[in-house]
Amino acid sequence: MVLLGAAACALALAACGNSNERVTSGTYAGEGGVPAPYVQVGPLAYQVQISRELNPYENEDQALLEGIPASIQQLHPGEEWFAVFLQVYNETGKPHPASTEISLYDTQDNVYYPINPTGYNPFVYRGGEVPAHGRLPEPDSVAGESPTQGAALLFKLKVASLANRPIEIKIVNPENPKEVATAELDV
């Protein structure tokens, strides 16, 4: 058991120690000001800029929920809006599709899928093709110029999941669904 714990700690430290490191699992904690790692999923690298709870009564967070019908925006008791701000990098010489199969899960096996607006929202992550030597969101886009510089994945989480940490993100390669990467979020 001690060896298992030591191995897990070593993996976590290795994953968050170098922001240029390409890993397929690890942590996005970014503790001590260390940038989060790039998680490799097929030919693309994904980096969570930040993840946080949203307050639908604040102007900044209201903009993130634009285009989501009021009936879906409504939170039930014990629910929270949660956003993961993501960048996707393509360092290859040809375009590749970014994953649209992204989910969150907690230690109690609760799984959450992004809620996409039905209307226009320039901040939301929608996947799509990442051009050769390009990035999503594009640097000159609304999301790319936002303070997080990432496109937002929007989730409704059970408040209890915030206590059932770590919350992990799972990203599936659209070109080969057998290739999956996971990482812990800093919540």
Of 27 and 99, which is predicted with more confidence? 99
For the entire predicted model, the pTM comes to 0.81
- Structure tokens that stand for 160 in this block: 């209890």
Mean pLDDT of the chain: 83
How far apart are the C-alpha atoms of 14 and 172, rounded to whole Å? 22
Let me know if domain 2-184 sits in CATH 2.60.40.1240: yes
Across the range 37-63, mean pLDDT stands at 90
Per-residue pLDDT reduced to its tens digit, 59-74: 889 999 999 998 899 9
What pLDDT sits at residue 164? 82
How many residues make up the chain in this entry? 187
Does residue 32 register a pLDDT over 80? Answer: no
Per-residue pLDDT reduced to its tens digit, 177-187: 999 999 888 65
C-alpha closest to that of 83 among 100, 63, 98: 63
Per-residue pLDDT reduced to its tens digit, 92-133: 999 999 999 999 999 999 999 999 999 889 999 999 999 999
Does residue 5 register a pLDDT over 90? Answer: no
**SS3 of residue 163 by DSSP:** helix
As to burial, measured by CB atoms within 10 angstroms (0-12 exposed, 13-18 middle, 19+ buried), residue 144 is middle
Q: Where are the domains of the chain?
A: 2-184
